């Protein structure tokens, strides 16, 4: 564990991780469930730092069957997925709680949306500072450096931390 940065809290059988356990990865993703011969095996759940989770039945480290649940409670269903598809572009919270009145936009699934630091962009998994080209997660921890393609995509696509006047401006 000391070499991988992971942490294991649980039972051992013949020196191998086995039985009920908690396994914490360096990414802060946490597995809580059954282990056998050092692998996820049986019923277990992966908890992600974003607040989402993956409940599954595992066999020798591989998923047999599982369900992914987003942090807002929305469950992913590969066969009957109707969330933000080409037909219906509403956010999950809008589906559950209805649309806002005319003139009040909901910009993200989180309502109210996160406050974006001045000069930065919200790129979905954190805030991007174009001056440093660094993306930090929402808890201000380093995630990655943006390459040229990601930089251009963020600048073109993502929400900004400042207001801009768009459209026609009358001459003064």
The span from the CA of 77 to the CA of 155, in Å, is 32
pLDDT for res 89: 65
Peptide bond between residue 112 and the one before it cis (omega within 30 degrees of 0): yes
Q: Which helix (H) or strand (E) holds 11?
A: strand 7-13
19, 10 contact by CB (below 8 A): yes
| pLDDT tens digits, 110-149 | 777 789 999 999 988 899 999 999 999 888 989 899 999 9
The conformation of residue 68, written as its DSSP 8-state character, comes to E
In 3-state terms, what secondary structure has residue 35? strand
163 contact partners, CB below 8 Å, separation of at least 6:
none
Does the domain at 5-67 match CATH 2.20.110.10? Answer given as yes
Phi, psi angles (nearest 5°) of residue 65: -155, 140
pLDDT, tens digit (0-9, with 9 covering 90-100), for 38-83:
999 999 999 998 889 999 999 999 999 999 998 878 888 777 776 6
Task: Tell me if 61 sits within 8 A of 40, measured CB to CB.
Answer: yes
Q: What is the mean pLDDT of the chain?
A: 86
Q: Map out the domains of the chain as residue ranges.
A: 5-67, 79-110, 113-160
């Amino acid at each position: 564990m000391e070499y991988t940065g992971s942490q294991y809290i649980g039972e051992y059988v013949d020196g191998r991780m086995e039985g009920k356990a908690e396994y914490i990865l360096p990414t802060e993703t946490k597995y809580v469930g059954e282990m056998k011969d050092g692998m996820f095996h049986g019923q277990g759940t992966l908890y992600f730092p974003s607040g989402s989770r993956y409940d599954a039945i595992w066999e020798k480290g591989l998923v047999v069957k599982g369900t992914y649940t987003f942090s807002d409670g929305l469950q992913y269903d590969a066969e009957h997925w109707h969330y933000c598809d080409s037909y219906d572009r509403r956010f999950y919270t809008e589906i559950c709680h209805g649309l806002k009145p005319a003139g009040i936009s909901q910009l993200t699934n989180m309502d109210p949306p996160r406050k974006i630091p001045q000069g930065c962009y919200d790129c979905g998994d954190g805030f991007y500072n174009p001056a440093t080209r660094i993306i930090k997660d929402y808890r201000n921890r380093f995630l990655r450096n943006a390459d040229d393609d990601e930089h251009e995509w963020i600048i073109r696509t993502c929400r900004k931390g400042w207001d801009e006047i768009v459209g026609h401006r009358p001459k003064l």
